[in-house]
Structure 1
Amino acid sequence: MKPPKPEARADKVSLWRYLRLFRQDILSAQPARLYRAWMAEFRTPFFRSYLINQPELIREVLNARPMEFPKSSRVGEGLRPLLGNSVFLTNGETWLRQRRIIDPAFEGGRLRETFPAMLAAGKAAVERLRARQGDVEIEEMASHAAADVIFRTLFSIPIEHEIAARVFREFRTYQRTQPILNLAAFLPVPRWMPRLHRGRTIRAAKSIRHLITQLTTDRMWAIEAGAPPNDLATKILSTPDPQTGLLFETDEMVDQVAIFFLAGHETSASALGWALYLLALHPEAQERVAEEAAALGDAIHFGDLSRLRFTRDVFRETLRLYPPVPMMVRETTKPERFRDRDLPKRAQVVISPWHLHRHERIWERPDDFDPDRFQTTEGRECMRDAYIPFSAGKRVCVGAGFAMAEGVLLLALLVRAFRFERIEGAEPVPVAYLTVRAKNGIRLRVSERVSSGTAPTPATASAERV
């Protein structure tokens, strides 16, 4: 059974019809020809947009000349109420300064240092799911687990912490009410005019930022007192810009924490939910993951992640079929010429991992789930040329290694402990909210695995399973 894919628009529609379709779902609003095109042009009365699928052009934009193709300000129209001036939205010198401060927190041994907190979150996710079993909404479970990872690694607090729990609840509201781009991204709205955000979105964003400010202020006090936890927040708040010697101010740190939560929680939750669904569709692959994870034994260490080779390929294939961020928008800073087309200054250049990862002229059986493809010569070539779930070049996601470790670990822990089965008639429909999610969630039947003939009791479950 093929994984679900939105039904693409087959014919031309008016601009206003397209905007309505786009507002509902960015994926199904796009024409089917984008799965074969190397480049496509989209015209509005206000700007030109060019989607590029040709690997050479993508490398030109992301790798060769990234500073000449900054992030489009139109992306910020939808996300700025929550993200402010975060590293996800900034360009130029501001972005370079932010990355100089943030990057050291994710370098070298820092991932190894965060692994115990990541593992604790995974164990907690197993215990929560053990109490629920049966018909489970997987996206909700995955969101809970991913948020727990972020709070434990960033602020050394579990998801049960009062502020962490409140941020999680507010973010669920934000995630379901905020599309990737809002209508102001398409229209010439002056800066002084309202940005056409939904009221619930604005309220949720304000609440989240208020709560993150509390956590950030408390951590700054702990740093000044000389006894802060050794976590990512402490590392980032304590790292000066090597060129200026300046630290992040509170407001700047709130912006960065907001994007860490969005990128590190929302995207990971999206990928984990789809990975479990894909394994439910393919029981033979699920058993291979379960066997690989079971071979690790009771004590799991950071180095053990390298033994989860097939699990890693399952997660890679999930990111190919359901890249959490389906589209990225850059902007030309001067006239360009791509594939014999003239792009004016300030044209939008759209790079779509969703279409690139399923491109019919690049990938063999692009809509099939095949984790083993990455062990073939052709698969490795495609991965090098047309696989960008974390973007690429200078603006590659700073937490890409963190996300891969988290995804592989959580997937292994959950599949080792439980069996996931599809529910007839409950097939999810992919849509793009902030990330690629299922329109009405992902429901799976969950049952505990039994390795010795009898189910473990709650008292022994933790020792036996995680």
Structure 2
Amino acid sequence: MTPPKPQPRADKVSLRRYLKLFRQDLLSAQPQRLYRAWMAEFRTPFFRSYLINQPDLIQTVLKDRPDDFPKSNRISEGLRPLLGQSVFLTNGEVWKAQRRIFDPAFEGGRLKDTFPAMRAAAQACADRLQSRVGNPVEFEEITSHAAADVIFRTLFSVPIEHEIAAEVFQKFRAYQREQPLLNLAAFVPLPRWMPRFHSRRTRRTAQDIRALITRMTQERAGQIANGTAPDDLATKIMTTPDPSTGRCFDTDEMVDQVAIFFLAGHETSASALAWALYLLALFPEWQDRIAAEAHALDQPDFSAIAKLRSARDVFRETLRLYPPVPMMVRETTCPEQFRNRGLPTGAQVVLSPWHLHRHERLWDNPDGFDPSRWSTENGKRCQRDAYMPFSAGPRVCPGAGFAMVEGPLILSMILRRFRLETIPGKTPVPVAHLTVRSKDGIWLRLVER
């Protein structure tokens, strides 16, 4: 049984046809040959784009010479209204200063500190599902709620039921439905003064979210000043000075960082968790393995995470098949030579976890679901050279370790109490919006274990 995958388009279409397909769905707009190609060129009247799947070229871009390949400003345009100047969008010295403040909050010891809040959110998710036993359940909604709860508990020490947290969650869901992964600015070079094609509704929703985050940030700043702030991620980030300059984030800068923390930590985790639950419904023998190991959670201790091996392997395999962020774009700052082909300054370099993770020349059984692959020689080699759900190099997601605790934990907490079954006629179709989601949701039936 092969998990669902978008049907690639024909190899040759006109630019007009491609743009139409692209706006409908980023994934199915791409040709089949990208699952075998080491490199491909795409030309528009405005710029050239080069997708690279060759591992040594990816290492050059992400690890060896990252400063020569900054994030493309074209791609950031679609997210600018919400994220401002967050660490996800910036480049150069601004980005480096932000990471010097941001990274200490996600060091190994902090994961242990956030575990009780994360576990409480996972337990609350399982408790909410109790009333849904026997009925079809749309799990993208469930995982969005759970991932948002994790964010608010670990970041601001409040559950999702908190008034402002609940409102941010609802507004963010609206933003996710309104905003595509890329907008027209990704294809057309626009002068700075020209409007960026964000709808009025998108801009208003982003403003509402940022206003709510500002309230929470200002309240926390007051608690820090009074010595009453809880020891959570928000406090850690807001009180960590840049070791080079000694300055901390001001309120506006902190709002930018909270916005990306919510986007990266909520939206991506929700996507991966929903697909993981669907894959487990397709392959019930893995449900039983996870349930057996989940007894480790009887002891509410961080050490239990190391015992959730099957859940970890399933979550890792889900991130391979359905990477939440399917494509990343960098830009050349000088002429480059890749595979005997010249790349001009300003060319777009596309790194596609979606294609790399399913590359037919790299992976054994690339479209199949096989969590045991990570103990094979091919799996170990590909994990090192051809696996980047969190990006790689200096710009690797700082929350990668956080996600690899959260995902297996929530899967284990659900499966220790319930079984999941697929529903005939409800096969999900992957599409890319802000992240890889299902076109019509992920519907499963919940059965008490």
TM over 0.5: yes
Secondary structure in 2 aligned to 1:109?
helix
1:144-155 to 2 correspondence within 5 Å?
144-155=145-156
Tell me whether 125-134 or 44-53 shows the greater mean CA deviation.
Answer: 125-134
Whole-angstrom distance in 2 between the partners of 1:387 and 1:140: 27
Give the structure 2 partner of residue 332 of structure 1. 332
Q: Which amino acid aligns with 2:49?
A: S
Q: CA-to-partner distance for each residue in 1:82-126, whole Å, 9 max, x for gaps?
A: 000000000000000000000111112101000000000001001
Deviation at 1:132, TM superposition (A): 2.1
**In the alignment, residue 210 of structure 1 is paired with which amino acid?**
A
* 1:274-293 aligned within 5 A: 274-293=275-294
Question: 2:233 — aligned with what?
Answer: 232
The answer for unaligned runs of 5 or more in structure 1 is 450-466
Aligned to 1:423: 423
2:258 and 2:218 map into 1 onto residues whose CA distance is 12
The one-letter code sitting in structure 1 at the alignment partner of 2:324 is P
Tell me, in whole angstroms, the C-alpha distance in 2 between the residues paired with 1:318 and 1:388: 12
Native 8 Å contact 2:78 2:198 kept in 1: yes
Deviation at 1:417, TM superposition (A): 1.1
Equivalent residue runs for 1:18-417 within 5 Å:
18-133=18-133, 134-294=135-295, 296=296, 298-417=298-417
1:228 counterpart letter in structure 2: A
Contact 1:23 1:183 in 2 (8 A): no
SS where residue 447 of structure 1 aligns?
strand
The question of whether the paired residues in 2 share the 8 Å contact of 1:430 and 1:438 is answered with: yes
Q: 1:452 aligns to what?
A: none
Q: Is the 8 A contact 2:136 2:444 kept in 1?
A: yes
Distance 1:300 1:321 in 2: 31
5+ unaligned residues in a row in structure 2: which ranges?
A: none
Q: Which residue number in structure 2 is paired with residue 11 of structure 1?
A: 11
**Equivalent position amino acid for 1:69 in 2:** F
Deviations 1:352-379 (A, max 9, x none): 0000000000001100000000011111
For residues 148 and 142 of structure 1, what CA distance do their matches in structure 2 show?
A: 10
Question: How far apart are the structure 2 equivalents of 1:189 and 1:17?
Answer: 22
Distance 2:261 2:191 in 1: 29
Q: CA deviation at 1:297?
A: 5.2
The 8 Å contact of residues 297 and 304 in structure 2, kept in 1 or not, is answered as no
Q: What TM-score results when the alignment is normalised by the length of structure 1?
A: 0.95
The AA in structure 1 aligned to 2:221 is M
- Aligned pairs, how many? 448
> Deviation at 1:198?
2.4
Runs of 4+ in 1 over 4 A off after TM superposition: none
For 1:441 and 1:221, locate their aligned partners in 2 and report how far apart those are by CA, in whole Å: 41
Letter aligned with residue 359 of structure 1: H
8 Å CA contact 1:121–1:152 kept in 2: the answer is: yes
Q: Deviations over 1:150-201 (max 9, x none)?
A: 0000000000000000000011111111111111110122221211112322
Report which stretch shifted further, 155-164 or 197-206.
197-206
Alpha-carbon distance between aligned partners in 1 of 2:76 and 2:59, rounded to the nearest angstrom: 23
Q: When the two structures are superposed, what TM-score results if normalisation uses the length of structure 2?
A: 0.99
Q: Deviations over 1:10-63 (max 9, x none)?
A: 231111211111111100000110000000000001000000000010001001
Between the aligned partners of 2:36 and 2:378, the Cα distance in structure 1 is 18
Aligned to 1:444: 444
2:298 is paired with a residue whose SS is: coil
**Alignment partners' CA distance in 1, 2:11 and 2:241:** 53
> What CA RMSD, in Å, does the superposition of the two structures yield over aligned residues?
0.8
